[in-house]
A and B are shown apart, each in its own frame.
Chain A
Amino acid sequence: MEKMQCKCGHVNPPGTILCESCGRSLTEEEQNKKLADMRYEGTARRSQTYNKSIIDKIWNFFSSVKVGVSIIVLLLIAAAIGTILPQAQYVNVPVRNDETIKAYYADVYGEIGKIYHFLGFHDLYSSAWFIILVGMLAISLIVASLDRFVPLYRSLKNQRVLRHRSFMDKQRIYAEGPAPEDAMLKAEEKLKELKYKVTLDKNGLLAEKGRFSRWGPYVNHIGLIIFLFGVMLRMMPGFYVDETLWIREGETRAIPDAPGYFLESKNFTMETYTGEGDEAKFEEAIDRVGSVAKNYQTDIVLYQTPDESLPGATDDMEQVKEHAIKVNQPLKFDGYAVYQMDFRQNELKAMTFDLTNKETEESLGSFTIDLVNPEKSYDLGDDTRVDLLGYYPDFSGFENGEPQTETPVPNNPGFLVRMFTPETPDGEVSFIVIQNTIEPLGENDYKLTFQTAETRDVSGLTIRKDRTLPILGLGGLIFMIGVAQGMYFNHRRFWIQKQEDGELVLAGHTNKNWFGLKKDLDQVSGFAALPPYVDQQEEIEKQEKLKKEQKLEGDELS
């Protein structure tokens, strides 16, 4: 492409539509238009002008708004598809690894689940192609903005006061006609009063206001880029923590991803509304749904080990604080927040049995097995004792005669015991699960009868830490500033020129809110007695509408 020389002598960069200097239309297409295309002030988008090396071609690809919008649409579609089946993090598998999750999708959702998993929709935000798409969006934002911002900035910075007549009469707001001698002076005075920046050159005047509103979209994009940068940081280790911790009453556990910190659960409480007294207003709801939760609370103690302490050493822990974690009232420390998220009630903690004679049903004494810390032997005195041979917290059946446990959680505890009494000094072997006793080595004289059980609750806590929040906040703020800048402010300009014959020519342009521009102009026109203006866009629309109506009428007649 060649540089374009305008009739006025100014040499414009290739691809320019309106001469940078005088505003004449440079292309034939533009010359035939009734109104000038004022986007980007008629400058050439930089990338369109050079298209030679591979880098230029890649650059041009990302510079296109069409490409940018397509990427956004693709992201939207992908995100929508990502909501059809549950994301991997919400999938419930007993053992969590890549294989079991893959199998879960295949088993539960069949062929579709397989494809879904294969394409990475099960963990959308971490799948490579999704990240690449977001990255391409970032590239598109930066490249497209640079390509448009630079020429626009240059053009507005160097704009001339005097424009060619053909530029003026192709503006949407246009006026020409006789005016009083002092019209220019008075117009200048009024425009200044309306906070316009007025520049004069020979017989012309340029009044401008709110140019910064043109930078709105670019500021907006800077905000988006910062936001995306913050999201990118979340993937880096140390910036973002979102972990789950199941903790039982009485347990002390290391807090995931918070080295050196430990949490002890003292107590979990769930309260419901009674529907009486002050809470009478809940009565109706309670009748309808059974119970209404009032509070979920975990009373915890936070401990910290000294800096030099190693994982595994918990003797030198120091108490940091006690706290009651409630919904929306997290425990906060060192940038972390621990939230109450979930609970499981009534997990078995201890079981009490009686050693009884099967025939007489006489009890030789009772003992309690602490499921958290079972003992080897329970002595009941008088040569009577129960030895624990095996404990299977989640009994799931026998394999080669050996009892199996499916999980370490006491959901279905099984005990293999040997019972010694004065009558049976060699001991009798028995296997006990809830509501069932097996006597593997022959008929016994004694049995264990279940008496009572103690239970405890488990709190589901979420540990969060987000160091990217300030960055995301800043990105969001800049984004909003950009939006406000572009939406609530307008770039308004008036060009007025005194012709040799004494008549005035006036043109007006704004990037949005033509109503506001006209209101300003009405004030100036009234004060300085300027010739009446027309809105050429409206004229064109009116004519088109008229034509359409006439055509319709004609169609009906024929």
Chain B
Amino acid sequence: MQEDKKAKKTNKKRNRAFMRLAILSLLVLAIGYTIYNSVTADNVEVLRVGDKAPDFTLEDMDGNRHKLSDYQGEGVFLNFWGTWCEPCVKEMPAMDRQYKEYEEQGVHILAVNIAQSDFEVQSFADRFDLSFPIAIDKSRSVMTAYNIRPLPTTVLVNPEGDIQRIITGEMTEQDIKGFMEEIKPQ
């Protein structure tokens, strides 16, 4: 009788400890998840490294259509820029040099201009004699889909079509070369 009671008591105690642990850990998990969301939401609301890169289609200055999913199996170096943005201007010539080297190895550059006029973009391309395709996102729908805030922002898409890396701010030629290597198909 006495032992029975004791067993019941320890049982009850164990249950109580288990309940408390369950409630506390559930709440701590909820808080942790909220913080994780709020921290990551700051920079990129929808896109994170490892996500599937949203597909899009844009026409470049020469009238060729570029659809991201057509480049499956190859790397895509997606650069968002504007003529007014100083670091963009600085990194473009370096990008062009690396483009010439890596285009044959299966890494493509697509420079997406944010809603400027054809004239501005064309005269910019002529000035630096840029050879990679440049497209203008007139309605800013690609910019919105990629949730681009600061310029320049570069999104590296690997041969699997996933986002390999998101770079905000200026890149050196060395950086660009390294990034090209990262998304080069094997």
Contact = CB atoms under 8 A, between A and B. Distances in A.
B75 interface: no
A86 interface: no
B37 A407 contact: no
A121 to B, nearest CB: 15
A55 B20 contact: yes
Given A126-B42, A131-B35, A132-B31, A311 B54 contact: yes
B6 to A, nearest CB: 13
B72 to A, nearest CB: 14
B55 interface: yes
A473 interface: no
Contact of B57 (A96, A255, A310, A390): A310
Contacts, number: 137
Contact of B149 (A56, A97, A232, A313): A97
Nearest to B39: A128
A253 B56 CA distance: 16
Nearest to B43: A98
Nearest to A46: B16
B37 A236 contact: yes
Contacts of A374: 117, 119-120
B61 interface: no
Contacts of B27: 135, 138-139, 142
B138 interface: yes
A232 B83 contact: no
Contacts of A59: 20, 24
A254 interface: yes
A374 B83 CA distance: 15
Interface stretch (B98-106, B139-147, B157-165, B170-178): B139-147
A372 interface: yes
A235 B43 CA distance: 13
Contacts of B35: 128, 131-132
Interface in B29-63: 30-31, 34-35, 37-39, 41-43, 45-46, 54-58
Given A56-B20, A257-B45, A262-B139, A235 B83 contact: no
A56 B150 contact: no
B84 A406 contact: yes
B116 interface: yes
B114 interface: yes
B117 A312 contact: no
Nearest to B24: A58
A465 to B, nearest CB: 13
Contacts of A372: 117
A56 B17 contact: yes
Contact of B141 (A58, A314, A390): A314
Contact of A312 (B17, B42, B45, B141): B141
Contacts of A253: 115, 139-140
A contact residues, range: 35 or more
A389 interface: yes
Given A237-B45, A254-B139, A373 B149 contact: no
A232 B56 contact: no
Nearest to A232: B34
Contacts of B41: 126, 235, 237
B117 A391 contact: yes
Contacts of A311: 54-57, 141-142, 144-145
B62 to A, nearest CB: 16
Interface in B106-129: 114-120, 123
Contacts of B139: 252-254, 262, 312, 314
Contacts of B57: 310-313
B contact residues, range: 35 or more
A301 to B, nearest CB: 13
B150 A237 contact: no
Contact of B30 (A135, A390, A405): A135
A259 B145 contact: yes
A53 B37 contact: no
B79 to A, nearest CB: 15
Nearest to A136: B31
A262 B31 CA distance: 36
A95 interface: yes
B66 to A, nearest CB: 9
A476 to B, nearest CB: 20
Nearest to A135: B31
B137 A312 contact: yes
Interface in A352-405: 371-376, 388-391, 393-394, 405
Residue among A55, A126, A262 with max Cβ neighbours from chain B (10 Å): A55
Contacts of A135: 27-28, 30-31, 34
Contacts of A394: 84
A235 B116 CA distance: 33
Interface string A91-115: 0000111100000000000000000
B142 A375 contact: no
B30 to A, nearest CB: 7
B119 A373 contact: yes
B166 interface: no
B149 A96 contact: yes
B23 interface: yes
A55 B39 contact: no
A391 B24 contact: no
Contacts of B42: 98, 123, 126
A410 to B, nearest CB: 10
Nearest to B87: A95
A333 interface: no
A375 B118 CA distance: 9
A251 to B, nearest CB: 8
Given A135-B27, A374-B119, 7 more contacts: A126-B42, A135-B28, A259-B144, A388-B119, A405-B84, A407-B84, A408-B114
Nearest 6 Cβ contacts at the A-B interface: A135-B31, A254-B141, A311-B145, A311-B141, A311-B56, A312-B58
Interface of A: 50, 53, 55-56, 58-59, 95-98, 123, 126, 128, 131-132, 135, 138-139, 142-143, 146, 232, 235-237, 252-257, 259, 262, 310-314, 371-376, 388-391, 393-394, 405-408
7 contacts: A135-B31, A135-B34, A259-B145, A311-B54, A312-B139, A313-B56, A314-B138
Interface of B: 13, 16-17, 20-21, 23-24, 27-28, 30-31, 34-35, 37-39, 41-43, 45-46, 54-58, 67, 82-84, 114-120, 123, 135, 137-145, 149-151, 168-169
